[in-house]
Each structure stands twice: as C-alpha cells, then as structure tokens.
Chains A and B, each alone.
Chain A
Amino acid sequence: MLKQLALALAGTVCFALTPASAQTKTVTLWHPFTLETDMIYGGIKSFNESQSEYKIDARIVPGPQIATELIKAIATGSVPDLVTLDNPVVASFSAQGTLTDLTDLVSKSTYIKPNVYFEGPWASGLWKSKIYAVPRDANTLALCYNADMFKAKGLDPNNPPKTWSELSAAAEKLKDPAKNVYGFGFSAVQGEEGVFQWLPFLHQAGGSVSKLNTPEAAEALKFWADMVKNGTASKDVINQRQYEVTNTFMAGNSAMVLCGPWELPRLQTDAKFDWKLALLPVKDGKNIKASALGGYDWVVPKGAQQVNGAFKFIEFMSNPKILNEGWATGRLAPRNDVVVQNPLWPQAYSIYREQLQSARARGPHPQWPDISKAIQTAMQEALTGTKPADQALAEAAKKIEPILAKTPL
C-alpha cells in the first residue's frame, strides 16, 4: 500500500518536472489510411519530431465510417481536431455550420495558396466563398486493361480503345463466357462509389447532373445498361464496390475495368499479368474529355480544441515535399506545383495526371447525398432492366429539381 502510494507520488513529481510534456498540446486526427506507406505516416512522424508545441495523435477510422463517426462526435460535442473527409460530403458538413472556417488561416499561410490548387479539389472545400477544407490528395478514374488478353484476342495492347464505340467493340471481342471473362467492368453499386464511376460517362455524353431528363444523359446510362444486358459486363456490377471490380480484374474475370490510382499498390503485387492504363474513352462525335474527381479533404470540426495546431499540420502536409510522397500509394497531389520525378508506375502516373485535368467535382452541394441517391436509384433501375434508362433518369431529375431549386449546383 505504502509502496503504491510512493510510486504514485513519484509519478506525479516526474510529470510535473517534465516541461515538454506539460506544454505539448495534443492534436487529435482521424484518417482512413491503412497502408503504412501512405504519406500521412511519414508526415505525422516528421511533424512530431520537427517541433514540440503540438503532437499529432492519430486514429484510423475506416473510410466508409468516417462521416458516420464524425456525426456521432458532433452530436456528443466531443470532436477531433482534424479529420480527412471524402470530398463530396464536405459541403454537407460545411453548409450546416459544423466545420471551422479556415479562411483567415489560409490567407496567412505560406504553402496553401488557392491558386496553386486544381479547381475541382479546391472547390470542394468552399461554401459561400468561405474556406472550410484544404484538399489532401486527389484521384480520378482511368481505364485499366489486361494487355495479355488483348494480345490473345488479336487486339493491339498499345492501342487501347479511345472512343465509346471502340470500347464496346473491344469489350465484345474480349468477353469469353466459357472462361467467365467479361469485356468491361465498373462499379454501379447503390452508393456514392457507383455515382463516382458513372458520372464521367454522363459528362462525356454531354449531360449533366442538373439535366438528367435529356437524351444525352439517357444515352450514357443506356451505354452501361446495354453492356450488362448483352453480357459484355457482369450483372453483378450493380452490387460490386470499386475494390471488388478491381478484384475481378486481378482474377482475370474482367479484361478492362474502371480503376483509380489508389489500386496501383494492389495491382502491382496481385495482378499476375501485363496490365496497362489508358485515358477514359470519349463519346464518338462529342469528344468531351471527362473523368471523376475524388480525394480527401482536411477539415477542422467546429468546437475543435486545437484549431491552430490542426492547421499547422495541414500546412505541413501541404508542403510539396510531403505531397511528393503521396504517389507511393497512388495518391495524386491536389495542386499543380507538384510533379513527381521518376515516379513509380511511370505510365500510370502520366495517364492519371493527364486524366486529372478533365476530372470534374461532385457538387459541392450540401444535399449531394440526396442527389447521389436519386442517381443511384436510376442506375439500379436501368441496369437491372426494371425501367428504361430515360424513364429512370426522368424520375431522378424530378427528385433532384426541387433540391437544386433551393440551392443550385
């Protein structure tokens, strides 16, 4: 008993005598990155070593749960100081006043200058011309194809499809039902990921989210629905998340798939064949280049204890030197002053970097989840054959119209 008391006393004295630990303020951070090679790990380490004022205390929250967890934190009033959020949901949080306004901090920052950021990623953090988020990374989609299968079917692996008609022709040739091989794979899952993958096609056809009841939009959805209908793409695409689509590619069940750069580390270790990347094909006669824009934003929830410390870390992570490391796990920099020298997967890097130029943001809109849900329903209806594409989209447009009437895109 006495011994325990003495120990406890000694502990208190030690604590009081250590000046560093008394001054260091802990900045709590939530992020979903599980690969140890992600730039965030090196960043946290060197940030904590470079100064003693703040210490980053990181917690991994799985990507799909991060918004849910943040909502729970907001509801209970005990928020983390810094969170990485998937960029299309940021507006839902910022428009409701749950994030800290970073406008002043950004205006004083040396590294974070709005004009060096790509337009799409930067726009995702804006609400009513105030800055609520700083982009951490960016990603987009490109066409990933199995060069060995191209050769086997008499297609030129150095000349991947450049238009929709070339894409369907190649997919038709590559499919092999006897071997369970589909020509083309994509995610049309009932969720944000499905919308992320389909929007490039909508934009390439000349359609837009605000005008879904147009022939252009219907053509884009019909293009996907027809592939499922005639067996060029699997019926299971409506239930496959993006990583599962990549799985079918790596298992040799899909000859071509839509694929984001974050899959590169996995492709490198698990795909036992010659795979290559190509820019997304464009629609014949339209020639509109478009792709999806994804990525994570840094946000500081309202009520955070260490706003300055959090922003200091955001700045630290926005240093081009750190952003350069992002490509090790297939994360592109959200700004135009970062070009990776001698990148891993050089062919993929040049494709994705070029594709990023035509990447379009989702929203920003505080009700993006509702808009997205309407599109998801239309996609599921068209791809299961429950409703024709134009009818499904017309119904989606009806749901989206009042939302956009309140707050335009």
Chain B
Amino acid sequence: MLATRTALLHVFLFVPIAYLLAFVGFPIVYNVIMSVQEVNLGNIADLVRPFVGLDNYREVMADASFRKVFINSLVFVGVNVVAQVSIGLGLAMFFAQRFPGASFLRGLLLASWMLPALVVGALWKWMFATEYGVANFVLRALGLIGSPVHWLSDPAVALTSVTIANIWFGMPFSMILIAAALTSVPLELYEAAALDGAGATARFRYITLPAIRPALLAIACLVTIYTMRAFDLIFAMTQGGPLDASNVLPLLSYQFSFQQFQFGVGSAIGTFAFVIVFGVALVYVRTLKKEGGE
C-alpha cells in the first residue's frame, strides 16, 4: 500500500517536472546556448554552431541602443508597477463602496484588459496621432496645451506615451486582484475602528494596508513580470522608435533576431531580460510562501 503510494507520488512529481523541463527549462537553456554561439540563417537549424564565448554579450554591452533600451525598460517597468498598483488600489477601494452599479462598472473596466494588445496599441496610436488624435484635441479644447504634442514622434515624449497606454491596459488586472484582497479584510475590524473614532485615513493606514500588504507585493511582482514582457503594445504603437526612445528589451531582442538576423545577439539580450524577470519571480514566490504561512 505504502509502496504504491510512493510510486504514485513519484509519478505526480515526475509529470510537472517533465513539463517544466520541456517547456520552460529547454527554451531557457537553448536561449543561453544560442547567446554564446554565432547563429545566422545558414546554421540556425544545426545543433553544432561556432562557439564565440561572450562575444555576443560584449557586442550587446557596447551597443549604444542597448544601454538606452535597458534604462527604458527599467523606467517603463518601474512607472508601470507603481502606477498600476496605486491606481488599481484607488479604484478597487472606490468600487468597494456600496453604490448602485459598482460591481457592474468594475467588471466593465476589465474590458480593456481583455482586448488583444495589438488592438490596444493601434487604438492608442490613433488617439495619440498629432493631427487627428483625440488626446491633442481634448487637451487643446481644455486650453492645457498651445501647440499639439507629438506623442509618438518626439523622442522625449514617446516613452511616456507608451507607458500611459500600458498603464491603461494593465491596470484593471491589478484592480481586480486588489478588489479580491479587499474582500478578505473582515468588516468587523472597520466597524470596531469606527467605534473607536478612527477616521477614513486611519482605517486605511492601520487596517486595510497591513491586511493587504502581502497581496500588494505579490501583485507588484506579477505586474513587473507582465510589464517586462511588454512587446506587442509597443510594437503596434511605435515599433520602439523614434530612435529607440520607446524601445524595451523584448522588442530589441526581437529586432536583432528577426529583423537583423543576428540571433546570437538577440538571445544575449533575451538572457538579460530573463535574469531580471527571474529575480522578480523569486521575490514573488517568496512572497506567496510568506502569505501562505501567515
């Protein structure tokens, strides 16, 4: 009896491990292998390719656009995480108030998150068009700007524009998760606090925030991982331009691999992106563990 149980346990253990090795481990290892090889269209189907050591990494580090794109990625991800989580928190608290249609409207907000990223990108490209875009039209009508803003064609503005679009796109996801976390806070705590004379700010600070802090951290990690992968939205809006002003690591890796056919360099950039995501994923797993332990 015990023997069959352990045998079964091994099977249960083997299936996910085999899955992880085949579909997660192999691509990662393969990417790392490609990043230390010279890979071109002629030898991409071969298994044995010329080994070039860290040349691809050196080339990447020396590339001026990589440094720019690396910083872009950090800024893009940082701003997205802070904005998506804080706006998501604000909206989740707002919709937690009881008013007619609250949950319906909250569900409706999720619609933007359900759209394909390419569609969202095309939409924002339209709205951010200098001449006929609605963004400039509204800002002008309100008298906030004199001359039209070149949202996507000014190198100084393009990153801000794609960041705004991505916040809009990803925020509902954080909001829904935070809303779920909020429902787990016992209402009695609020009632007791109100009786003790705690105001809204105090209740938020001493009850809500501590109660959902682990959830917030986990959500922040998830948003970081999702944003690190942002590709299609930016691809549709600016293709990373002008002059890589709105480019991020995954898109740069794609451009090197599939537009310049320099697969080794593309893989090296992929490795950089992977290391960052992996670090964040570790933090996420640790947070989940802690959350579960409490």
Contact = CB atoms under 8 A, between A and B. Distances in A.
A77 B43 CA distance: 11
Given A370-B260, A380-B241, A74 B44 contact: yes
A238 B42 CA distance: 33
A34 to B, nearest CB: 16
A352 B5 CA distance: 77
Contact of A239 (B42, B43, B45, B241): B241
Contact of A190 (B41, B45, B125, B242): B242
B258 A67 contact: yes
A384 B153 contact: yes
B261 A236 contact: no
B132 A253 contact: yes
Interface stretch (A53-61, A93-101, A158-166, A200-208): A93-101
Given A97-B42, A373-B259, A373-B260, A236 B242 contact: no
Nearest to A179: B131
Contact of B150 (A93, A98, A235, A386): A235
A71 B241 contact: no
B41 to A, nearest CB: 4
Contact of A92 (B41, B153, B238): B41
A96 B42 contact: yes
A234 B153 CA distance: 10
B40 A96 contact: yes
A103 interface: no
Interface size band for A? 35 or more
Contacts of A237: 153
A180 B41 contact: no
Nearest to B262: A370
A308 interface: no
A190 B241 CA distance: 6
A253 B243 contact: no
A189 interface: yes
B241 to A, nearest CB: 4
B242 A239 contact: yes
A379 to B, nearest CB: 10
A378 B45 CA distance: 34
Nearest to A79: B45
Given A71-B258, A190-B240, A253-B132, A236 B153 contact: yes
Contacts of B125: 239
Given A180-B131, A191-B239, A369-B259, A384 B154 contact: yes
Contacts of B43: 96
A66 to B, nearest CB: 11
A381 interface: yes
B129 interface: yes
Which interface class (under 10, 10 to 19, 20 to 34, 35 or more) fits B?
20 to 34
A236 B41 contact: no
Interface string B222-252: 0000000000000000111111000000000
B155 interface: yes
A253 B131 CA distance: 8
B259 A96 contact: no
Interface in B27-48: 40-45
B45 A75 contact: yes
Contact of B41 (A93, A248, A253): A93
B132 A238 contact: no
Nearest to A376: B241
B45 A74 contact: yes
A35 interface: no
B241 A238 contact: yes
A311 B24 CA distance: 40
Contact of B241 (A68, A180, A189, A251): A189
A377 interface: yes
Given A71-B41, A71-B44, A234 B130 contact: yes
A192 B44 CA distance: 23
Interface-central residue, B152, B238, B242, B260, by most chain A CB under 10 Å: B242
Contacts of A98: 41-42
A83 to B, nearest CB: 14
Interface string B111-131: 000000000000001000111
Nearest to A303: B45
Nearest to A387: B243
Interface in A39-81: 67-68, 71, 74-77
A251 B131 CA distance: 11
Contacts of B243: 190, 377, 380-381, 384, 386
A238 B155 CA distance: 10
Interface in B148-172: 150, 152-155
Given A74-B41, A97-B42, A98-B42, A238 B260 contact: no
Nearest to A192: B259
B155 A386 contact: yes
Greatest chain A CB density within 10 A among B41, B131, B241, B261 is at B41
Interface in A109-157: none
Interface of A: 67-68, 71, 74-77, 92-93, 96-98, 180, 182, 189-191, 234-239, 248, 251, 253, 369-370, 373, 377, 380-381, 383-384, 386
Given A96-B42, A190-B242, 16 more contacts: A74-B44, A93-B41, A96-B40, A189-B241, A190-B239, A190-B240, A191-B259, A234-B130, A235-B154, A236-B152, A239-B238, A248-B131, A369-B261, A373-B259, A377-B243, A384-B242
30 contacts: A71-B258, A74-B45, A96-B41, A96-B42, A97-B42, A98-B41, A180-B131, A190-B239, A190-B240, A190-B242, A190-B243, A191-B259, A234-B131, A235-B154, A236-B129, A236-B150, A236-B152, A236-B153, A237-B153, A239-B239, A239-B241, A251-B132, A369-B261, A377-B243, A380-B242, A380-B243, A384-B154, A384-B155, A386-B155, A386-B243
